[in-house]
Chain A
Amino acid sequence: MGKFLRVDLSTSGIKEEEFSIDVLKGFIGGRGLGVKILYDELKPGINPLSPENKILIMTGPVTGTPSPETGRWCSVTKSPLTGTIHDSQSGGDFGPYLKFSGFDGIVIEGGSEKPVYLWLDNGNAEIKDASPLWGKDVFQTTDTIIKDHGDKNIRVACIGPAGENLVRFAAIMNDKHRAAGRGGHGAVLGSKKVKAIAVRGDKRPLIADEVLFKETTDKVIRKIKEMSVTSESLPNRGTAFLVDLINEEGGYPTRNFQTSVFSTADRTGGQTLRETLLIKAKGCWGCIIKCGRITKVPAWSQFSGEGEGPEYETIWAHSAQCGVDNLESISKANYLCNELGLDTIEMGNLIGLAMELYEKGYIEEEATRGVDLKFGNEQAIVELTWRTAYRSGLGDDIAEGGVTLAKKHKALELFMGVKGQGLPAYDPRAFQGHGLGYATSNRGGCHLRAYMIAAEVAGEVTGEKIKLDPLKTEEKPKWLKIFQDLYGACDSLIVCKFNTFAVGAKEFAGLLTGATGWEYTAEDVMKIGEKIYNLERAFNIREGFKGREEDTLPKRFLEEPIPEGPKKSHVLKLGEMLDEYYKLRGWRDGVPTKEKLKELDLEKASQDIGV
């Protein structure tokens, strides 16, 4: 690990760069290293869609190594949706192929006058003209680049029309169907006129201690095969199976989180997907779990199409969130989001918001331009996806994100999001720990800063059977911190979070030590995760976030009980958990204390944020 590219689009300059061993050891790679670089290099207050922003395309020290679930990469930037530091993780093949091209990551800064793409070829790098690609969708862009170079061993990450049109939740898509989805990283690339990054090469990463690495890998494989989630549910049924379980638990957000049970959820769940549209399972590079699904909606359907997904979050976002139970239209919306380059979670969340705004009279008929915005309209979820990508009519408002859309109609309380990013597919009133995670996420409404559902529902966490009562608040702050710190490290190695149903910090330490030759213990791994979480928090505070003020959820969750179903009458008891969480974190009102930052070797951050 250690060879990076710095691309200055304003001068068309490319140079190779290395970071100090202390920084690499201390922040690992991926998310951690990205946060460190941006904390040091970004001035506070910059516009995320200006040339002053930077976006990092990152791998980690175990990316592309022969251990399972190491096929991931991430982008790190200041988000145009939330204004926070923001990393977005993705699977597929692109991550390892970026590593094989000879580079561990790319720092992209400045802005180009004309569309360009980055071409990384076995140790060499060029900025190439992308004018003929501008305007093409993700699939066309990928196919054209591969065809132009005449080599199927190329992998491509790119933006679609949504990124070009600066939709604030535009995704970076890779391998056509995989997404660095959340937070609008696609718009950041679009603002820099970077259409794509194409990679090729045969430079496999070296392993410093092959014996230790193999020993740890064998253990990881064994544990993945022992745990039910990773050996049975995900491989055989995919993530879509969660539709059935979360709905049965009474925590499946429906019609913009107005309730938490969807009466026809079974029409869109994993069992139905398996029986109707599923072609086969698919895994990312180096994956033995293979949770991905390839599906097809037949040609005779008005919603015909094919591709990867829809996954659980996408199904929820276009199904219960919008009141739609037609799996074909939901799948079509999913394929479209991939082709146009959109975050499926945000897209569905905001269609649901638009539907509630319409049904309550905030959005008038004229503004819909002929799209019937009543909950349940299976056409609307497809039509609004197109209109958002191309910023047409109401789509232009949606493209600005939930806060802007809801504020425009003086109904901010109806946007179900945190720090500007829409909430995903679990009602926080039904899963107290998960709700605390939503509130305290550094990147806004997110289920993957800490997947507390693993403990509150699935019951498998790092190879142990842990079953926490989802309705209780006791112990949740402690567990949330564990998850957040572990995932900070996980996103930096980079390893798929599904590994964490089966393994944890001890195995991560083994993989890191084996890959790099630097000694890491499980405690070191968790400490680095904690450091990353604190530096992210300091970044946000430096940007003007206050801490406790933004660590909250819409009133719907704090004051309106779930109206029906198994979790009827429950609200999120945030107040019972937040103070304890801050105490465990060593924060005061959501701001890291001087002592905590000193403990984590982040003294400069302490000065920057005035503590």
Chain B
Amino acid sequence: MKFFGPFKELVGKRWMAVEVHQDISILEFIHEMAEKSNPRLVEEIVNHEEDLRPNVIVLINGRNIVHLDHLNTKLKDKDTVALFPPVGGG
């Protein structure tokens, strides 16, 4: 998982690599990452109903999860997850 912007500040790292079981969902993966880095990571990404917060971009291999299976999207071996706030510009 790569952390950008406020997520990097929260976790204190640019990236972490973790071994997880096959077919883990991205939501489960975020929970695992939070346990290993900062528990607040979960609440920055999902609300109390475990819906994705609107001001978070979660990419799996460069694809926004909202165009995949949202928080149910399953991860595969060597997948890269990246967390961003919304970014725009020139």
What residues of chain A have their CB less than 8 Å away from a CB belonging to chain B?
A: 227-229, 232-234, 236-239, 241-242, 244-245, 248-250, 266, 270-271, 291, 311-313, 424, 447-448, 451, 453-454, 457-460, 465, 467, 469, 471, 498, 501, 565-567
Contact = CB atoms under 8 A, between A and B. Distances in A.
A424 B4 CA distance: 23
Contact of B89 (A234, A266, A467): A234
A451 B88 contact: yes
Contacts of B5: 232-233, 236-237, 241, 270-271
A460 B90 contact: no
A323 B59 CA distance: 25
B90 A311 contact: yes
Interface residues of B, number: 24
Contacts of A457: 57, 64, 87-88
A458 B87 contact: yes
Contacts, number: 97
B54 A453 contact: no
A245 B84 CA distance: 7
Nearest to A251: B62
A102 B51 CA distance: 53
Contacts of B89: 233-234, 238-239, 241-242, 291, 311-312, 498
B6 interface: yes
B2 interface: yes
Given A249-B62, A250-B62, A566-B61, A271 B4 contact: yes
Contacts of A451: 88
10 contacts: A228-B85, A233-B5, A238-B89, A239-B89, A239-B90, A244-B87, A311-B90, A447-B90, A458-B87, A471-B67
Interface of B: 2, 4-6, 8, 14, 54-55, 57, 59, 61-64, 66-67, 82, 84-90
Q: Chain B interface secondary structure, helix, strand, loop or mixed? A: loop
A242 B86 CA distance: 10
B11 to A, nearest CB: 13
Contacts of B62: 248-250, 565-567
Interface centre among B6, B87, B89, B90 (most CB of A within 10 A): B89
A315 to B, nearest CB: 10
Contacts of B8: 271
B54 A248 contact: no
Given A244-B4, A244-B87, A245-B87, 6 more contacts: A228-B86, A229-B86, A242-B88, A458-B86, A458-B87, A566-B63
Contact of A245 (B14, B55, B57): B57
A167 B61 CA distance: 41
Contacts of A567: 62
Contacts of B57: 245, 457, 459
Contacts of B6: 232
Contacts of B85: 228, 232-233
Given A232-B6, A244-B4, A467-B66, A453 B88 contact: yes
A236 B14 CA distance: 17
Nearest to B8: A271
Contact of B64 (A229, A237, A241, A467): A467
A443 to B, nearest CB: 15
A245 B67 CA distance: 16
A498 B86 CA distance: 13
Contacts of A248: 2, 4, 59, 62, 82, 84
A325 to B, nearest CB: 16
Nearest to A497: B90
